[in-house]
Structure 1
Amino acid sequence: MYRKILITTDGSTVSQQTACAGVKFAQQMGAEVLALFVAPEYQYPVYVEIIPPSYPSEEEYIEQMKRTGADHMSRIMRSCEKAGLAHGCMTAFSDATALKIVDVAEQEGCDLIFMGSHGRSGWGQILLGSVTNKVLSHTTRPVLVHRLINEPVDS
């Protein structure tokens, strides 16, 4: 049914558990997996004339975020390898995370976006489910929302 599934992660315990569920789902479908980490865009210092020596250059920031993304997605990649699934990973840069997720799904030809939800309501849903809600409202592709009922324990 689905040939290519986009699984998003931000490196949190919640998203790691969601990603594991996404890989299991992809295995059931026999689908390829594309893991995605969206990093914030580089922020130039407010006062460009006075850049602290410890402030990273744009190139250093991009390389660090790519390493961070690869680290966050490594568990997904290992799970895909164990499951015998075709897989890939991508670090993208945007301050509008949800829109970038939608764009990547379209550009990469993903049939499904697999995302997590904390299962909260009220203010918790507004604050913590905003990326998922925005993806749902901006895409025409199917989105499977994996809901975590209990808060995971950090490992």
Structure 2
Amino acid sequence: MFKNILFPTDGSELSVKATASVIELAKLHGARLVSVSVVQPFPFMPVGDSGMTITPEPAVYETQMRNIAQDNVNKVAAAASAAGVPFEGVTGVTASPYESIVETAEKHGCDLIVMASHGRKGLNKLFLGSETQKVLAHTKLPVLVLR
């Protein structure tokens, strides 16, 4: 049924946990897996779940973020390879990760987007936003949300 599945990953514990599920889904359908990891450019003030902010030099920040994004994709690539699932990895830097996710799905001919959701509520949801909700609002593709 599905031939090209997009799996955005941010390297979080939830994304890592969802990797096994999305790989099994791809195997079940004989689908190719495309994974994307998107980071936000400087001068974005990174705020983690702990609420701490770190402001490194712009060049250092961008290099570190690109390396982290590539590492996120490499982990999914290794799991896909071990399972014999065809794989393609994509990284990007953009102020709007959801836009990059939707564009990547379109560019790679994906017919399903599988995302892990943090399930944030209250002020965390208000301030940190929900990339999953933004993807749902801006794509015509089916989106499977894993928690």
Partner of 1:152: none
How far off is 1:33 after superposition?
A: 0.6
Q: Give me the CA root mean square deviation.
A: 2.3
Partner-residue secondary structure (3-state), 2:104: helix
Partner of 1:131: 131
Once residues 5 and 110 of structure 1 are traced to their aligned partners in structure 2, the CA distance between those partners, rounded to angstroms, is 5
Partner of 2:14: 14
TM-score, normalization by structure 1: 0.76
TM-score, normalization by structure 2: 0.80
Give the gaps of 5 or more residues in structure 1.
45-53, 149-155
How far off is 1:123 after superposition?
A: 1.5
Identity of aligned residues (%): 36
Matched residue count: 135
How far off is 1:85 after superposition?
A: 1.1
Once residues 34 and 111 of structure 2 are traced to their aligned partners in structure 1, the CA distance between those partners, rounded to angstroms, is 11
Partner of 1:79: 79
Matched AA of 1:23: I
Pair member with larger Rg: 1
CA pair 125-6 structure 1, distance change in 2 beyond 3 A: farther
Once residues 91 and 80 of structure 1 are traced to their aligned partners in structure 2, the CA distance between those partners, rounded to angstroms, is 17
Partner of 1:70: 70
Moved over 6 A (4+): none
Give deviations 1:74-105, integer Å, cap 9, x for gaps.
Answer: 22111111111110111111111111111111
